[in-house]
């Protein structure tokens, strides 16, 4: 199985073409779109989407992520084998958040043109390099055939949440289609205590309870909730936290340890 | 075969994740997207989309619909077996319009956590309950394994068209991507008579002929036409009835029995 | 394998329904979406998308393109066999640009209702004619079974680039999701010479270098570059040529043979 996470959109023929290339090499490949609607060139959002979804796929899946504003320049392509998956894409950080959750077995640079579609364009390595490499991998070609081993890869820097005297402070990392604003605060570090309150430090300070599901609060009211990605999110029941609370990436969110 | 109808959009990783879950349980499953672009929380639109498309799929298909603003609350998930299909989703009406077109054989509540993805989140039952249940169903697990039988399910109320002295009065139920405005008036109740005229009672009253195909009327002109969903729709040849005529959901449409 | 290129969008149930029809006839069919986001009724854009992508699919693929404002009128459906593919769609030009790149073996009119979904609607031949025909073709039904042979089909007119004294003059044919503006100037006619300069004749005249990849120019600066479709495109590094340069379809682009 091969998954795709890109910023190519579905408006043009780019994604269809990548699938044609894969199926020309391996007609048995199963291809699943994670998303193609990452904002143009937004490597962080692509990295977040892949990290939030990759582990829901069966072992042996090949995850291809292409958010690649540097296509054609000197940045290399890489393939990274972890215990359960192989990750394929440009070495610009887009794979790093997902890989960081798994044990790495090998990192290889993609240099062997025998496995590329030729002529290789300078603008569409998703079609000419990453798709054919993934297709050959899915047919059982060994990782070492694609290029020399490497010892590291480009990693995105993510701000970690900080412990305050009266709670934990994080920030909004990703805003989804519903306007739910996902923070960098993982559920584990919150522990379990009732009556928590969140402060969202946007233009105005908004206070909201930490609840178990959206409809715990009245329609149109904000709530903090453990999102399905494992991170705390700020939501509005039946509405959009992004629009109604004016939330943006980077806005600070504080979980207070008790009512204060 | 498993179909998906949701409001999750394709911008985030939600739909890809659901597919990963299904394929982890049944690698042979065929998954077809009906749509993921139902407006956030619009149960009626989801119900309409599923009802308009479900019967074009082969017998034995499993239809999953998730438009689920009450996720995590007390609303139950259900699976409903009809003669040709199994419908899976929240018991909030989103399945009801499609089911209403088929003979029901059994309704079961989804309660057996052995068939869920664990831990079950409180915000994404599409991934944690409905996808794994559909995948297990597609492998042949019997419906009764998922939970106790029920005698009924939540049904959406749809306004029926009314017979007037001089015709039939209905309303706009759904507006599609082209701006075509689909009403609740089924073709069967119109019968066959030539020279019909429609009145669309928006801000202004618009009169248009009932014709066989879009290009019967001049470019830019409105027409009533039997849509491919079996309902009468108001369209503009080469344009958008929604934009050009200012149509909205609920606007009244009257088919006059003769020129009056 | 069957590919789809349409203007149906993914908001409604139209595309899902077409897939249901195909899989009901041939459960083994592989279906790949090229795109469903062609602008409503934009036959040229559909033709361009199909032509840019069709040859990346394995031999034997069946390409279905439906951008069909004349649905229900007298325009016929056709199936055109080339050496490697079969193209299926309305005979309105949407197939013509792709077919023009291949050697034609046979053109047939789609008239045999035995291979249609009945009743055939007057508004959705994608579902009722083109999908079932493609599905039957994928099961091995011979082309001649679908209707009589024809000697020609409707061809779109495309303006060819012109040779000037000091270069080559073309125009913008297609603008992609990134705002890259693809012209009708193929790479082959440019030849290879360094230090080329492009003039984009929009509201203002913009000069930009012809480079090998986006990041050759500074962030936010325009460049001409050979696109992955084989045509010269105008791009902005890290931005949108459409938005930042105000590019539109039809805007003239001149490649100067030397700095002048």
Q: Residue A103: which region, alpha, beta or left (left: phi > 0; alpha: psi -120 to 50)?
A: beta
Domain carrying residue A242: 162-256
Question: In the predicted model, what is the mean pLDDT of chain A?
Answer: 93
Check if C32 contacts B (Cβ < 8 Å). no
Task: Convert the pLDDT of each residue in B204-239 to its tens digit.
Answer: 899 999 998 888 999 999 999 998 988 999 999 999
- Out of C8, C16, C127, the one facing B33 most closely (by C-beta) is C16
Taking the CA of residue C115 and the nearest CA in chain B, the distance in Å comes to 15
Cβ contact (<8 Å) for B57 and C11? Answer: no
- Out of A53, A61, A178, the one facing B17 most closely (by C-beta) is A53
Q: Chain C: residue nearest B238 by CA?
A: C69
The β-bridge partners of B225 are B211, B233
Output the 3-class SS for B93-162.
Answer: CCCHHHHCCCCEEEEEECCCHHHCCCCCCCCCHHHHHHHHHHHHHHCCCCHHHHCCEECCCCCCCCCCCE
- Out of A20, A27, A72, the one facing C215 most closely (by C-beta) is A72
Distance CA B226, CA C123 (A): 8
Both C65 and C136 in one domain: the answer is: yes
> What are the Cα distances from residue B58, in Å, to A184, C113, C246?
44, 20, 48
Query: Is A195's pLDDT higher than 80?
Result: no
Taking the CA of residue A20 and the nearest CA in chain C, the distance in Å comes to 4
Distance CA B14, CA A55 (A): 13
Closest by Cα among B103, B8, B105, C120 to B18: B8
Q: What is the mean pLDDT of residues A216-240?
A: 93
Least confident of B89-93, B120-124, C193-197, C250-254: C193-197
In a domain, A229, yes or no: yes
| Among candidate residues B120, B150, B180, the one where a domain is terminated | B150
Angle in degrees, CA B54, C87, C184, rounded to 5: 115
With b for 16 or more beta-carbon neighbours within 10 A and e for fewer, the C156-192 pattern comes to beeeebeeeeebbbbbbbbbbbbbbbbbbbbeeebee
Run of H or E including B170: strand B167-175
Cβ contact (<8 Å) for B72 and A226? Answer: no
Q: What is the mean pLDDT of residues A220-233?
A: 93
Run of H or E including B243: helix B241-244
Both C199 and C241 in one domain: the answer is: yes
- Out of C37, C61, C240, the one facing A11 most closely (by C-beta) is C37
Q: What is the mean pLDDT of residues A104-118?
A: 97
In a domain, B157, yes or no: no
Closest by Cα among C162, B15, B254 to A177: B15
Q: What is the mean pLDDT of residues C28-45?
A: 95
In a domain, A218, yes or no: yes
Both B184 and B127 in one domain: the answer is: no
Give the domain CATH number at A31: 3.40.50.10790
Band (pLDDT 50/70/90 cuts) for residue C194 is low
Question: In the predicted model, what is the mean pLDDT of chain B?
Answer: 93
In a domain, B32, yes or no: yes
Task: List the structure tokens of A214.
Answer: 């959206």
What DSSP character marks residue B239?
B
3-state secondary structure of A74: coil
Angle in degrees, CA A215, A217, A218, rounded to 5: 90
Both A129 and A184 in one domain: the answer is: no
Closest by Cα among A240, A239, A164 to A198: A164
Q: Please count the residues of chain A.
A: 260
User: Which residues numbered 149-188 in C keep a CB inside 8 Å of some CB on A?
Assistant: 176-178
| Among candidate residues B111, B128, B150, the one where a domain is terminated | B150
Band (pLDDT 50/70/90 cuts) for residue C46 is very high
Cβ contact (<8 Å) for B215 and C21? Answer: no
Cβ contact (<8 Å) for A122 and C178? Answer: no
Band (pLDDT 50/70/90 cuts) for residue B193 is low
Check if B213 contacts A (Cβ < 8 Å). no
With b for 16 or more beta-carbon neighbours within 10 A and e for fewer, the B212-230 pattern comes to ebbbbbeeebbbbbbbbbe
Cβ contact (<8 Å) for A20 and C37? Answer: no
- Out of B3, B49, B226, the one facing C12 most closely (by C-beta) is B49
Mutate to test the interface with B, among C2, C9, C16, C71 (most CBs of B within 10 A): C16
- Residues in contact with B114: Cβ distance below 8 Å, sequence separation at least 6, in sequence order: none
Is the CB of residue C12 less than 8 Å from the CB of residue B12?
no
Distance CA C206, CA C200 (A): 5
Both A173 and A138 in one domain: the answer is: no
Give A150-164 as a DSSP string: ES-------PPPEEE
Sort out which chain B residues have CB atoms less than 8 A from C71's CB and list them. 213-214
| Among candidate residues C116, C150, C184, the one where a domain is terminated | C150
- Residues in contact with C158: Cβ distance below 8 Å, sequence separation at least 6, in sequence order: C97, C173, C184
Both A213 and A91 in one domain: the answer is: no
Both B42 and B100 in one domain: the answer is: yes
Cβ contact (<8 Å) for B226 and C121? Answer: yes
Check if A14 contacts B (Cβ < 8 Å). no
Cβ contact (<8 Å) for A123 and C1? Answer: no
Residue B45 confidence (pLDDT): 95
Closest by Cα among B110, A16, B249, B224 to C53: A16
- Out of A9, A15, A127, the one facing C228 most closely (by C-beta) is A127
Check if B10 contacts C (Cβ < 8 Å). yes
Neighbours of chain C (3+ CB pairs under 8 A): A, B
Check if B30 contacts C (Cβ < 8 Å). yes
Residue B99 confidence (pLDDT): 96
Query: Is A20's pLDDT higher than 90?
Result: yes
Burial bucket for residue C238 (CB in 10 Å: 0-12, 13-18, 19+):
middle
Band (pLDDT 50/70/90 cuts) for residue A70 is confident
Task: List the structure tokens of B165.
Answer: 């002295």
Query: Is C193's pLDDT higher than 70?
Result: no
Check if A40 contacts C (Cβ < 8 Å). yes
C-alpha C199 chain-centroid distance = 26
Sort out which chain A residues have CB atoms less than 8 A from C56's CB and list them. 17, 20-21, 24, 127
Distance CA B219, CA C124 (A): 19
Task: Convert the pLDDT of each residue in B139-185 to its tens digit.
Answer: 999 999 999 999 999 999 888 899 998 889 999 999 999 999 999 99
Task: List the structure tokens of B92.
Answer: 């909030």
Query: Is B200's pLDDT higher than 90?
Result: yes
Q: Residue A124: which region, alpha, beta or left (left: phi > 0; alpha: psi -120 to 50)?
A: beta
Both C193 and C218 in one domain: the answer is: yes
Q: Chain C: residue nearest A31 by CA?
A: C32
Q: What is the mean pLDDT of residues C137-148?
A: 98
Cβ contact (<8 Å) for C16 and B3? Answer: yes
Give the domain CATH number at A241: 2.40.30.90
Least confident of B149-153, C73-77, C153-157, C194-198: C194-198
In a domain, B156, yes or no: no
Query: What percent of chain A lies above the pLDDT cut of 90?
Result: 81
Task: Convert the pLDDT of each residue in A148-185 to its tens digit.
Answer: 999 999 999 888 899 998 889 999 999 999 999 999 99
Both A138 and A10 in one domain: the answer is: yes
- Residues in contact with B163: Cβ distance below 8 Å, sequence separation at least 6, in sequence order: B169
Residue C8 confidence (pLDDT): 95
Both A204 and A140 in one domain: the answer is: no
Task: List the structure tokens of B200.
Answer: 């669309």
Check if A223 contacts B (Cβ < 8 Å). no
Query: Is B259's pLDDT higher than 60?
Result: no
Residue A212 confidence (pLDDT): 86
Taking the CA of residue C38 and the nearest CA in chain A, the distance in Å comes to 7
What is the maximum alpha-carbon separation in chain A?
64
Taking the CA of residue B181 and the nearest CA in chain A, the distance in Å comes to 24
Band (pLDDT 50/70/90 cuts) for residue A82 is very high
Neighbours of chain A (3+ CB pairs under 8 A): B, C
Closest by Cα among A255, A232, A235 to A243: A235
Query: Is C244's pLDDT higher than 80?
Result: yes
Closest by Cα among A202, A250, A249 to A222: A202
Band (pLDDT 50/70/90 cuts) for residue A259 is low
**Rounded (10°) CA dihedral C13, C18, C24, C29:** -120
- Out of C53, C215, C226, the one facing A20 most closely (by C-beta) is C53
Check if B49 contacts C (Cβ < 8 Å). yes
Taking the CA of residue B120 and the nearest CA in chain C, the distance in Å comes to 29
3-state secondary structure of A22: helix
Task: List the structure tokens of A163.
Answer: 């412990």
Query: What percent of chain C lies above the pLDDT cut of 90?
Result: 81
Cβ contact (<8 Å) for C16 and B53? Answer: yes
Taking the CA of residue C107 and the nearest CA in chain B, the distance in Å comes to 26
Task: Convert the pLDDT of each residue in B129-138 to its tens digit.
Answer: 999 999 999 9
Question: Tokens 């207070």 correspond to what residue?
Answer: A256
In a domain, C51, yes or no: yes
Query: Is A189's pLDDT higher than 90?
Result: no
Pairs of CB atoms within 8 A across A/C: 95
In a domain, A30, yes or no: yes
What DSSP character marks residue A27?
T
Q: Please report, in angstroms and rounded to a whole number, the separation of the first and last CA atoms in chain A.
A: 50
Sort out which chain A residues have CB atoms less than 8 A from C177's CB and list them. 8-9, 11-12, 14, 40
Distance CA A131, CA A26 (A): 11
Both A97 and A214 in one domain: the answer is: no
Sort out which chain B residues have CB atoms less than 8 A from A210's CB and list them. none
In a domain, B155, yes or no: no
Both A118 and A181 in one domain: the answer is: no
Check if A10 contacts C (Cβ < 8 Å). yes
Task: List the structure tokens of C159.
Answer: 């303006």
Pairing of strands B62-66, B77-82: unpaired
What DSSP character marks residue C62?
E
Q: Chain B: residue nearest C25 by CA?
A: B58
Q: Tally the domains of chain B.
A: 2
Q: What is the mean pLDDT of residues C162-174?
A: 92
């Amino acid at each position: 199985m091969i998954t795709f996470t890109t910023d190519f959109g579905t408006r043009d023929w780019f994604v269809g073409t990548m699938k044609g290339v894969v199926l020309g090499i391996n007609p048995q490949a199963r291809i699943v779109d994670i998303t193609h609607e990452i904002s143009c060139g937004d490597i962080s959002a692509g990295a977040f989407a892949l990290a939030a979804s990759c582990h829901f796929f069966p072992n042996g899946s090949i995850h291809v992520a292409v958010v690649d504003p540097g296509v054609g320049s000197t940045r290399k392509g890489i393939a990274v084998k972890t215990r359960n998956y192989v990750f394929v894409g440009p070495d610009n950080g887009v794979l790093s958040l997902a890989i960081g959750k798994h044990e790495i077995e090998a990192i290889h640079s993609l240099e062997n043109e025998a496995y590329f579609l030729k002529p290789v364009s300078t603008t569409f390595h998703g079609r000419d390099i990453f798709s054919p490499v993934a297709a050959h991998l899915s047919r059982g070609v060994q990782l070492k055939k694609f290029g020399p081993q490497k010892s590291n890869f480009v990693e995105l820097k993510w701000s970690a949440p900080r412990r305050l005297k009266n709670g934990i402070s994080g920030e909004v990392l990703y805003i989804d289609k519903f306007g739910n604003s996902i923070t960098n605060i993982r559920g584990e570090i919150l522990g379990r205590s009732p009556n928590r309150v969140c402060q969202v430090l946007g233009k105005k300070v908004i206070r909201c309870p930490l609840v178990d599901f959206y409809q715990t609060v009245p329609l149109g009211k904000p709530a903090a909730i453990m999102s399905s990605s494992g991170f705390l999110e700020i939501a509005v029941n039946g509405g959009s936290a992004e629009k109604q609370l004016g939330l943006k990436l980077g806005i600070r969110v504080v979980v207070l340890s008790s009512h204060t």
